[in-house]
Amino acid sequence: MSMPRHMENKDWGQNLTVRDLNLREAKFLSTKTTCAEAVAEIQKGCTSFPVRDESGKVVGVLTSVNLMTRIGKAQVEMGDSIMRAVVRDIRNVSLTVSLNELTRILARNRFVLVSEKYMVTIDDVINKMCPPKPKVVSITKADTDAAQGSSSTSKFLLGAMLGATFAMGAMVAFQKISKQ
């Protein structure tokens, strides 16, 4: 009777760590932040904020969903501290955690704090797995011919398009070089 073979684990992300993600510093709120101030931050486009107390210790996270639910149910008022809407459970991981493990953590948590400095979501992992393709701008001979016989505005726009195309190519090349 032969022994069963050990199946090799080929899961994505075993050879990558959190450090390999495009990390952005988290925007922290203070326990003294009011609900009105938090709403103003949410309106700027961010929906989750780690929260620190006066000593700098992370005490939880404020999400737009939690805050809006509390405001909608009249459990907090705009002048109140955000602390009644803060979720006290926030997962913190280090830069050395494999992306394989981070994916498992994010399956149970909407976001994690990395080294008490960066906020990471499943979107960050998806962008690493399947990087968004750069937009390609193509200029045809017909475009250049049309611009040569037209107004200075058209010539300016064509020049701007050519410049943008060059800049995009240079940016992609720089990203490739910086990852090596």
pLDDT tens digits, 139-158: 676 766 666 665 555 555 55
Class (C level, CATH) for 18-129: alpha beta
Report which secondary-structure segment, H or E, holds 2: none
- 8 A C-beta contact, residue 122 and residue 27: no
Q: Which two tokens stand for residue 71?
A: 């405001």
The arithmetic mean of pLDDT across residues 39-61, rounded, is 94
Percent of the chain with pLDDT strictly greater than 70: 76
pLDDT tens digits, 102-145: 999 999 988 899 999 999 988 999 999 888 887 776 667 676 66
Q: State the pLDDT at residue 41.
A: 96
pLDDT > 70? residue 48: yes
Give SS3 for 136.
Answer: coil
Q: State the pLDDT at residue 180.
A: 46
What's the mean pLDDT when you consider all of the chain? 83
Helix/strand number for the chain, H first, E second: 6, 6
For 9-109, where are the alpha helices, taking DSSP H only? Answer: 35-42, 64-72, 99-108
Taking the alpha carbons of 19, 123, 107, 48 in that order, is the dihedral positive or negative? positive
pLDDT tens digits, 58-100: 999 999 999 999 999 999 999 999 999 999 988 999 999 999 9
Domain boundaries, the chain: 18-129, 141-178
Cβ partners under 8 Å of residue 168, min gap 6: 134, 135, 137
Q: State the pLDDT at residue 44.
A: 95
